[in-house]
Amino acid sequence: MGRAIIVNTIRFILLIATQVFLLKNTGYYNLSVPYLYILFILLLPFNIPNGLLFLLAFITGISIDVFYDTLGLHALACSVMAFVRIIFISVTVQRDGFDNEPEPRLGIMGFRWFIFYALILAFFHHLFLFSFEAFRISEFGYTIIRVLLSALLSTCLILITEFVFYRKKVR
């Protein structure tokens, strides 16, 4: 239990620092913006209580909001992502027989499950973030293109990060 808290605290600090200091001004003409910090919420253990998950998601988002000066947009998007995570895990994990696994990592869950998981959660995060950022129906097409391209870029960065720290599950 204590080891998991230390690992997740270090992961939180490293991902927030990477997002703020390396990826803040990175993007492709504001169409594709990478958000690697969502990996923290993706990798939280399966058995985390829902209240704590929402609290950690909100703290993660508000931490990014402080540096991006976005007034709660990231906190909202992370909270929605936590909600979608609960639904996704409740639907897929029990059905696929992963009940006894500790956390949703690439090495544990497999490539196909993890990429689908990361894509779905990144899509919902970006959908709410960019929709509330634009907050205009007239920019619907532009917002959807931004959501799709940013979700793909973020998922690619998440997969690269997971492959760097990939550990095959020993059965």
Query: Which residue, chain included where needed, has tokens 């293109």?
Result: 145
What's the rounded Cα separation, in Å, for the pair 1 and 75?
26
pLDDT higher at 104 or 144: 144
Q: What are phi and psi for residue 28, nearest 5 degrees?
A: -115, 95
pLDDT of residue 101: 61
Axis crossing angle, helix 2-21 with helix 50-68, rounded to the nearest 10: 30
Predicted confidence band of residue 99 (pLDDT cuts 50, 70, 90): low
Query: From residue 17, how far is each of 21, 47, 64, 124, 133 by CA, in Å?
Result: 6, 26, 9, 23, 23
pLDDT higher at 167 or 162: 162
What's the rounded Cα separation, in Å, for the pair 156 and 162?
10
Residue 32's DSSP bridge partners are: 28
**What is the value of pTM for the model shown?**
0.88
